[in-house]
Amino acid sequence: MYFGLFNCSPLPAAPLADLLVSALNGNAGAHHQGPATSPAEGETVRAFGRLVYPEGELAGMLLPGGTFANLQALVLARDGAGSQTRPRRVYTSEACHFSVGRSAMVAGFAPDELVAIASVGRGALDANVLAERIGTTLLPARRGA
């Protein structure tokens, strides 16, 4: 039941949207290259953020796919840790996408810093095994969570 590479025909509005994007020069490498793209991206991220977290203001960016998103997340986590002493750890599900390991390598993580955790069900990380590997006690679930 995996349809990850199932290519559907475009929606009728897609050619018009493509025309608009092409006319606006959607190069988002820098604001001066595509000045309409930056505010459109920001508003799109804020709109999605309001759907998920209506009480707060979220920031983010649109990325071209999961591999790039994995790399971005690992770089941000690495940089957010600052000068944290080694060894660092990247805990993943044993069922994670292959791009996580590749992205970790590009972000400067050593192979022994990646820790695969057993998965349950449809690839979810087993929280009890994770807590055991980290060396913590799993807190009881919150009501309504």
- Report helix angle 66-80 to 98-106, nearest 10: 50
Q: Side chain identity at 5, as an amino acid letter? A: L
Q: What are the residue ranges spanned by the domains of the chain? A: 12-62, 64-145
- When pLDDT is cut at 50, 70 and 90, the band that residue 26 belongs to is low
What distance separates the 2 farthest-apart alpha carbons in the chain? 55
pTM: 0.64
14-24 pLDDT, tens digit per residue, is 888 888 877 77
